[in-house]
Amino acid sequence: MNTMLIGNRYDTGESVEVAITDGTISGIQSCAESDPTLAMIAPGFVDLQINGYGGQEFNDLELSVDDVRRVSVQMDADGVTNYLPTLTSQSYEMMHHAFSVMHEALCTDVDVQRRVVGFHMEGPYMSAEDGPRGAHPVQHMRPPQWDEFCRLQEAAGGNIRILTMSPEYDGSADFISKVTNSGVLVSIGHTSANSDQIKTAVDAGARMSTHLGNGAHRQIRRHPNYLWDQLADDRLVASLIVDGHHLPAEVVKVFMRCKGVDGAVLVSDITGMAGMPPGLYENNSIGGVEVLEDGRLVVPGQRQLLAGASLPIGVGIAKIMEYAGLSLKDAVEMASTRPAALIDIECGALQIGAPADLCMFTLHDRILEVQSTINGGEIVFQR
């Protein structure tokens, strides 16, 4: 199958023709004349943290292969060509069931296979304290258990690529070392760990901070604290939710000055309530959720405690350019090639021989709008 795309490169702005043959970029040629009205063409977005979409959570005792496929295909409209379905803290029974179904979907459904590149296990080995645990149910917070993790990884068919946990528990360093040696990226998140525990976790192999700045106490000591500790350690890559709700502009700017574009990635962290109209919903993994008029997801009855996100990763690209003064090139790569490198997968790139996993979008008035998504050389979404 041959395809030709015409657009402006996201990294140079040059107008180019991109030839695709059998799912791979076979040629890139400059256009005779530059056309600033063309859509930007960029690597497809790689989202390391998607909990669900359109009313469907992955945390669901009734999750089916069709559910996984439906959420996966819905990612096309957001320019996402690869992503990690994410399970949050729940009972062993629910997590085992969901991982089993996700693995079955990955083995049997072609549409899932071309989009899903592994799973993200966010919890349940995280802090039970109010604030750090965020919207994760307190009854499911527990210390890390190697045997349990191995059973869940078996149910997942070995596809768990990221484990988010808190290193505040006894034995965390040994557990992190085992998980890391098994080939899984360990990320620190939803934590009330002290400075020594953070350092020990990184020494043991932890390499990332999950949605840094969120899943934290509403008030913490000036210093030291777990935010400074993670910002200061250059061995930790920070994932950030830059949707205009989770982090103020000033915080994003400071975080980026600390980490730099090589030390941070964007995630959406969208939940099953993404795409739903305002109102109260009973969420089967974290309890009640309220969708506010501005799109924020909150614990019902107040407007401050967030219960996940609802905006796609493309919003983060536009916002981080606005908040931190990043170039389009750097912002796009924080949502594509850099997260792909973190989990060691090949993703789309504008070079001959790369997979034709691409996104074409416009960016006007600080709003990024996906025009088309190309997955494996096939146009899977077109506005």
Question: How much is the pLDDT for 283?
Answer: 62
Tell me if 171 sits within 8 A of 144, measured CB to CB.
yes
Question: How much is the pLDDT for 273?
Answer: 85
- d(Cα 221, Cα 192) in Å, to the nearest integer? 12
Question: How much is the pLDDT for 291?
Answer: 86
Of 159, 160, 172, 236, residue with least CA distance to 200: 172
Phi and psi, residue 281, nearest 5°:
-135, 145
Write the DSSP symbol of residue 270: B
Which run of H or of E encompasses 161? strand 160-165
Q: Which residue's entry shows tokens 């996201």?
A: 10
Which domains are seen in the chain, by residue range? 44-346 (3.20.20.140)
> CB under 8 Å to 317, separation ≥6 — which residues?
266, 328, 331, 332, 334, 335, 368
Question: How much is the pLDDT for 285?
Answer: 60
Question: How much is the pLDDT for 284?
Answer: 53
Question: How much is the pLDDT for 302?
Answer: 77
- d(Cα 213, Cα 346) in Å, to the nearest integer? 29
- d(Cα 26, Cα 194) in Å, to the nearest integer? 51
Is the dihedral angle over the CA atoms 22, 28, 31, 36 positive or is it negative? positive
The pLDDT profile of the chain, 383 residues, written as one tens digit per residue, is: 789 999 999 999 999 999 999 999 999 999 999 999 999 999 999 999 999 998 999 999 999 999 999 999 999 999 999 999 999 999 999 999 999 999 999 999 999 999 999 999 999 999 999 999 988 999 999 999 999 999 999 999 999 999 999 999 999 999 999 999 999 999 999 999 999 999 999 999 999 999 999 999 999 999 999 999 999 999 999 999 999 999 999 999 999 999 999 999 999 999 988 888 888 887 656 667 888 888 788 878 777 777 778 999 999 999 999 999 999 999 999 999 999 999 999 999 999 999 999 999 999 999 999 999 999 999 999 99
pTM of the model: 0.96
Residue type, 277: P
Q: Rounded to whole angstroms, what are the CA distances from 213 to 36, 189, 252?
A: 37, 9, 9
Question: How much is the pLDDT for 290?
Answer: 86
The two tokens of residue 274 are: 């993404």
- d(Cα 227, Cα 204) in Å, to the nearest integer? 19
Phi and psi, residue 214, nearest 5°:
-120, 160
Tell me if 240 sits within 8 A of 267, measured CB to CB.
yes
- d(Cα 207, Cα 211) in Å, to the nearest integer? 13
- State the first-to-last Cα distance of the chain, in angstroms, to the nearest integer: 21
Question: How much is the pLDDT for 221?
Answer: 92
